[in-house]
Structure 1
């Protein structure tokens, strides 16, 4: 087969050569023959000669007929040009006539006057239609751009476009995702209709890979997925990472519901490297990245994809490519969106049947030191009980806010009713996310530049909280010569807030006081005046108990400030030695200065401790720089064989200084200054440094456009490792085969690619948990003070200078399939990653003077599957529907234990690492809970496996529907399986605010009755025996139903906060309507008489609906430690281009 193909190619080359040799004399005779007579003439019209040149050389001339009018060509000139090649012939033909030619695209030439004939240069309006070549239906959304300029338009719902200010020498570019791009010279045409052909193979798709190198996707031997920047700038999230949720298979985003909290990003179970324009950003501060500056995000999955980054690329990479300037004309784009958070998709729902107190009795502290101290529980008397003997008609009792009788000095009774059933909603305010961005691009023959400025304002739903995030970016590229190009960009970003709320469980969390320990007998709005009269600045006004903070006092007085100035950017010099050989010098800098502070007012409650007032200040000065020198070589040794090789060196340096200080009490209230400390200020500071030097390279081999092989290697020397083990090598190999280029497939089977890869990557940071440096030599720490004199303490960890770096060895296999002319596609991946030489802490005898030592030990296996399904179920004249489904599964297993131990905690070799073991109650053989004789459940003496933390599947489904000038995009995502521990629900059950605590048993308990009987059994005889691992070795127990009644409140208080908390684990399964975007592109004919090139309006929404088994909280966060309610965001986006 290959021999036949080779023979065909050789014969074809010979035939084309023979035709080229014969064509010159032939076409001269042809001109004479077609001139209207069978005999030679002494002159011919220029138009006749150009026509025959077109036929002879397979080219096309565009011209204005008036330019050729009256111009003739002599027989002598005609004979001369027939003996010359085309590039020589055209000047000989045209220059004597005052004309010239210009190659504008492919085989298209423009003929124009040397003097710049205005008729040639006159600008026109070009219009036309774009259709699908397969069925002749109109194509909406096709981008029509002028090549080399910023002018452009988009086809409307009928596939029509109109573009003003176009010159006859311009070339129009027609492009649409899923179709082959077409370039058409304008010439003298005012109407250009185009039929686009489907790009059935996607063979020319280019993605950004490691080191910022662009490669054709077909050549990659590993999985990669791209998200376009346009998907990130309409229905926005405050943090760029959250906008990726559901859009990439294998990439899991756990978004926080709290203001200014990072989303947790996980790629195949680990934290990936963030790379911006080829420069690694190891801090991964995504708040500093302006979504409007992002051109695309390419997710490189697995170690092989990012092996060229060495140890920092051990877990894959998220490649962010920012926008560049395009074209010569000045272009301005304004993008603005405003979203409002006015409603909830998940909010803690508290019961409003019972109020503060314990076992039906209400007690309070009136906020002024009067009245008895309450219990702190919400197990108090029933609310809204009718009492015809009182003025209000309800049962009345003196309360914390009762008016004082001026005669007796005692507090008057008030109705005991539910005033605060909407306390959470009443405390919140409308959240706002407002974003404005403006960008400017301009260019010339030498280069382009782009500048953008943006501001994001987020008004927190908690009063007196908010966030400002401002960015300014300037970038450009310039050709200093034909060989030398410079590309540079710079970004300044400032994140600042005077207050953002604390969110973990504890007194600083407003929900701690608002949801858990405040009954609905309190209307939270009554506490807005949060100072005790006459004691402003000294004592907050409490409600029922004095050890819970007033939520308004927290919001306006406990101030958490954050002020960060980021500066980052890069510069690259590219020099082209020859067609095949080039060099690049690139350096990137990332620096920031951070100041944070916490103002803690007097009378603030830290559990039972009342603060004397404090002021905490922290600062951090960070700098890192990475420099690369890269030599690149690419050459096609034949039509079928191409080599692309690069070799380079990299140097990375990080310097991180930090300092923190705090007062020990405030001498003067409300004066937050370190000099106002009652006792000596407490301070600490530190410096951490790292340096990495590396050599790396890769070779790409391509054969016959069907076989691709990539070999990479990197050798690093890292300062954080012991000298004996601080240099190591990372190899990788990957390849792909385009089966559809080798085998004739059925007509409906469009494309088939098989790929595979292997890599070995070591981690340079031995202590992967703290993420900075590793001290392999013992050092001293600052200890306690003795009589005001600081002491030094020798560390308790015995360091090991012979430790080896943790290492990952991985392989991956995948298939890419496309069917029905690209209407249906599937990308499937399977991977296995072996992690070994992990660092473990081993306990040692205290007699040695140490607590533990570090050793290499434990081995893990990570494996998973990923599927990306794409399709276009409907594509008609006015309507289209595109869909993408992402599905992934990931698990981590224990493969070996240090020193061949039998267990690692509760885990055995072969177990999943996310197994959950917790305290449970003892059960009989049928699973019924065993109760003690006192009516309370009996604890199992061993922790038991109850399920797994990680979900079985993570999915996302994105749909895009287009009708004429309208488009509707909606994204649904979620997880299937896995368990999540809910602190919110556990504390609500324990404290008495959970709606499930409303029942007759509680009414009885308030009256002192014991009527609650736990469902289960009691042991009437026999016994149960276990081995050391908790396995039952003998069970002779006999049982009878439990009949012992207990006080319901006693039962809930004792069991809800017990170690046996398996009931507080819930299914993590959920489905969320993540995003809805309804857009309208204004018709081009409406804009033709304005200075706008394009305009669109979008109605947008985020986090609109949630379906989950977990009550009261949003499982999307992945963890619940008393999280904020999950908000629904809706708003409008406006985009203008001019």
Structure 2
């Protein structure tokens, strides 16, 4: 990959100006970062200006201003995730290890103006198999070097944040202070894809703005009542307001003129989307700290928030905290030790509240684009909002010890914590009959606990040399305690799927760590031997069965089911045996491929027979033997592939139409003892309602059937 990646270079420059006198001080600084990335044409420039000032207006009144301005400009940030624009994803999925990276970097376009690729779509044939054309466009994935030179990605970020503060000393013990702070952010993004990419051409502009303002007032009191007893306290209030806005405009149906990145260059009416949110929290808080003989310390605090994102009846929530620490090293029998310099025990318990995102209390319609002619369209969201939300609440306890030894050249800090978050706000799956796929609820609780251990030492220390070493160890246990229970404590939801790929998915699973990764594996016994499921558990599968002329089973879909999903347990044993047959045929294992193939076909029949009560085991044995004979006399690989396809797609018009589109597998006539005409079975499904709804498609589909290999009497939906 040395011919694709570059050596990243970062240049940093800074300059500052500062000054001070008896009245105050200031510091003005400027810094610049200029960076070229490791991927081609990636670059970033950041300029920062900082200002920090303090000034004594009078002996009792002080003022200060702190401000920072940051501007960041980036070109061709690397796209992440599963995307054609991410070269790292392409290298691991659509890449061939023998490819000449330098060649496809140096030659990115053909003489005809097409993208130069190692993976063209290739020849195009007519229905008779005759060559009609050659499609040079890339298949599945673009040339990564072409992507980095032709995709357009530019963004600019501007951010200003800082505060102005005042403090006034009423007397030696009492003072007041106030602070106004703001954080303003603006982000502009432009993205474009030209012609000749695997992805459709497009241009997108996004503009995001946000601002948070905080105004805080504090009353501070500090008093040493004696040499042994100290006290300080704070009473304050805070007003927070947040504002966010996002505007997105995107072309539709591609660009008209290649590489003219402008919304007006859209082939169809451009899509626009606007989002705006406001949020506010008003708070009062207080804290006290007591000290006794610089040995025993007690801290108490409490806060109450009123949030605009919770319903009025539940928008107030209170959360306190308390901690205590004891410096054992202040005791007389330790104080004079030459080994132990400092020992402190500590314990604390604290709560923290959290509110919801804006606009989660009532349902509103969401706009759809484009319009239906001149009429706007709106839809009900998939998630139902909740007008009865309450705040989340986290409770944490912690115990710890800090020890310093040998003139503080060795220190040990150890602690244990236990944190429980309750009434978590998240979407819980619900029945689609409600009109929603999920509902926002206070439903979950999650626990985090663990140990933290830190040791620091100075094994060597002289007047001119010092060597410090440190070690950190952390052990954490995370568990989703519960998701949703009813009033009797019975679990209603124990797992929520958060998305994934064909290989694995992320789940929030009761009793497991948050965001557990789930994949697929065989079932094993105690000896780690595979267990084959003779009886697949398919309760509630919405299909009946009927026999077709060749003796295989055809699933018949009830007319009120539009797009069913096959259960995960479907034909597990059959597909397992067929995989073993495939592996043996490729020389990976020493098992008998024919035996594995025969077992796989029989398991396919037995699974269906067991579940639906249709006795077809005799037919299974006869047909399986015939298929094995067919495989050994012609092509074992082809028959295994055909039977794997049948087991993987035991039913479904989508599977049938996919075979028709891709011509895989090639289902050729075979000597089937149950069918004198020699037809091989294929499995078809067709909801009867589609005959009337899509009559033209149905007729076209039937006309495309091959009389030699297809059952024309089967009801088939041709997916055009």
Query: Deviations along 1:385-444, whole A, 9 cap, x unmatched?
Result: xxxxxxxxxxxxxxxxxxxxxxxxxxxxxxxxxxxxxxx221111111221222222111
C-alpha change, 1:574 and 1:515, in structure 2 (3 Å) is same
SS in 2 for 1:803: coil
Asked if 1:560 corresponds to 2:153, the answer is: yes
Please state how far the C-alpha of 1:786 moved relative to its aligned partner. Answer: 2.1
Pairs within 5 Å for 1:408-419: none
Asked if 1:492 corresponds to 2:69, the answer is: yes
SS in 2 for 1:1012: coil
- The residue that corresponds to 1:708 in the other structure is 297
Query: Deviations along 1:453-483, whole A, 9 cap, x unmatched?
Result: 1111221111111111111111111111111
What is the rounded CA distance, in whole Å, between the counterparts of 1:472 and 1:842 in structure 2? 46
What is the rounded CA distance, in whole Å, between the counterparts of 1:881 and 1:1046 in structure 2? 69
Query: Deviations along 1:987-1035, whole A, 9 cap, x unmatched?
Result: xxxxxxxxxxxxxxxxxx9xx9732217899999999x99xxxxxxxxx
C-alpha change, 1:874 and 1:551, in structure 2 (3 Å) is same
Q: Which of 518, 532, 539 does residue 110 from structure 2 map onto?
A: 532
SS in 1 for 2:194: strand
The answer on whether the counterparts of 1:1012 and 1:1046 sit within 8 Å (CA) in structure 2 is no
- The residue that corresponds to 2:116 in the other structure is 541
Query: Deviations along 1:672-716, whole A, 9 cap, x unmatched?
Result: 111122211110111101011111111111111111111111111
C-alpha change, 1:826 and 1:575, in structure 2 (3 Å) is same
- The residue that corresponds to 1:599 in the other structure is 192
Q: Which of 668, 690, 707 does residue 257 from structure 2 map onto?
A: 668
Question: RMSD in angstroms over aligned alpha carbons?
Answer: 3.4
C-alpha change, 1:713 and 1:598, in structure 2 (3 Å) is same
SS in 2 for 1:604: coil
- The residue that corresponds to 2:524 in the other structure is 923
- The residue that corresponds to 2:390 in the other structure is 804
Pairs within 5 Å for 1:911-990: 911-913=512-514, 915-929=516-530
What is the rounded CA distance, in whole Å, between the counterparts of 1:907 and 1:635 in structure 2? 50
Please state how far the C-alpha of 1:494 moved relative to its aligned partner. Answer: 0.6
Please state how far the C-alpha of 1:862 moved relative to its aligned partner. Answer: 1.2
C-alpha change, 1:707 and 1:924, in structure 2 (3 Å) is closer
SS in 1 for 2:264: helix
- The residue that corresponds to 1:651 in the other structure is 239
C-alpha change, 1:562 and 1:821, in structure 2 (3 Å) is same
Query: Deviations along 1:204-245, whole A, 9 cap, x unmatched?
Result: xxxxxxxxxxxxxxxxxxxxxxxxxxxxxxxxxxxxxxxxxx
What is the rounded CA distance, in whole Å, between the counterparts of 1:534 and 1:847 in structure 2? 55
- The residue that corresponds to 2:216 in the other structure is 628
SS in 2 for 1:927: coil
Please state how far the C-alpha of 1:845 moved relative to its aligned partner. Answer: 4.2
Please state how far the C-alpha of 1:850 moved relative to its aligned partner. Answer: 3.3
Pairs within 5 Å for 1:477-876: 477-527=54-104, 528-535=106-113, 539-545=114-120, 546-547=138-139, 548-606=141-199, 611=200, 613-664=201-252, 665-745=254-334, 746-765=337-356, 772-784=357-369, 785-876=371-462
Please state how far the C-alpha of 1:928 moved relative to its aligned partner. Answer: 3.3
Larger radius of gyration: 1
What is the rounded CA distance, in whole Å, between the counterparts of 1:911 and 1:517 in structure 2? 34
Asked if 1:1011 corresponds to 2:587, the answer is: yes
Greater RCO structure (CA 8 Å; 6+ sep): 1
What is the rounded CA distance, in whole Å, between the counterparts of 1:464 and 1:850 in structure 2? 45
SS in 2 for 1:744: helix
Please state how far the C-alpha of 1:448 moved relative to its aligned partner. Answer: 0.9
What is the rounded CA distance, in whole Å, between the counterparts of 1:732 and 1:488 in structure 2? 31
The answer on whether the counterparts of 1:928 and 1:1016 sit within 8 Å (CA) in structure 2 is no
What is the rounded CA distance, in whole Å, between the counterparts of 1:914 and 1:1016 in structure 2? 41
Asked if 1:445 corresponds to 2:22, the answer is: yes
The answer on whether the counterparts of 1:892 and 1:914 sit within 8 Å (CA) in structure 2 is no
C-alpha change, 1:635 and 1:676, in structure 2 (3 Å) is same
C-alpha change, 1:637 and 1:794, in structure 2 (3 Å) is same
Please state how far the C-alpha of 1:780 moved relative to its aligned partner. Answer: 1.1
Pairs within 5 Å for 1:341-360: none
SS in 1 for 2:71: strand
What is the rounded CA distance, in whole Å, between the counterparts of 2:443 and 2:592 in structure 1? 45
Please list every run of 5 or more consecutive structure 2 residues that lacks an aligned counterpart in the other structure. 121-137, 496-506, 539-581, 608-631, 650-720
Pairs within 5 Å for 1:1014-1053: none
Please state how far the C-alpha of 1:773 moved relative to its aligned partner. Answer: 1.6
SS in 1 for 2:168: strand
TM-score when scaled to structure 2? 0.68
SS in 1 for 2:148: helix
SS in 2 for 1:740: helix
C-alpha change, 1:1016 and 1:877, in structure 2 (3 Å) is farther
Query: Deviations along 1:621-677, whole A, 9 cap, x unmatched?
Result: 211111111111101111111111111110011111110001122221111111122
What is the rounded CA distance, in whole Å, between the counterparts of 1:596 and 1:939 in structure 2? 55
Please state how far the C-alpha of 1:795 moved relative to its aligned partner. Answer: 2.6
SS in 2 for 1:1013: coil
SS in 1 for 2:2: helix
What is the rounded CA distance, in whole Å, between the counterparts of 1:919 and 1:1009 in structure 2? 23
Please state how far the C-alpha of 1:907 moved relative to its aligned partner. Answer: 8.2
SS in 1 for 2:164: strand
Query: Deviations along 1:743-770, whole A, 9 cap, x unmatched?
Result: 42243111110111111221112xxxxx
Pairs within 5 Å for 1:420-459: 424-459=1-36
Please state how far the C-alpha of 1:830 moved relative to its aligned partner. Answer: 0.6
C-alpha change, 1:797 and 1:1010, in structure 2 (3 Å) is closer
The answer on whether the counterparts of 1:587 and 1:625 sit within 8 Å (CA) in structure 2 is yes
Please state how far the C-alpha of 1:857 moved relative to its aligned partner. Answer: 2.1
C-alpha change, 1:729 and 1:763, in structure 2 (3 Å) is same
Query: Deviations along 1:148-183, whole A, 9 cap, x unmatched?
Result: xxxxxxxxxxxxxxxxxxxxxxxxxxxxxxxxxxxx
- The residue that corresponds to 1:890 in the other structure is 476
What is the rounded CA distance, in whole Å, between the counterparts of 1:469 and 1:700 in structure 2? 43
The answer on whether the counterparts of 1:432 and 1:460 sit within 8 Å (CA) in structure 2 is yes
Pairs within 5 Å for 1:12-51: none
What is the rounded CA distance, in whole Å, between the counterparts of 2:475 and 2:10 in structure 1? 33
Query: Deviations along 1:1047-1068, whole A, 9 cap, x unmatched?
Result: 79x99xx99xx99xxxxxxxxx
Please list every run of 5 or more consecutive structure 1 residues that lacks an aligned counterpart in the other structure. 1-423, 766-771, 933-937, 943-1004, 1027-1043, 1060-1138
Please state how far the C-alpha of 1:720 moved relative to its aligned partner. Answer: 0.7
SS in 2 for 1:838: strand
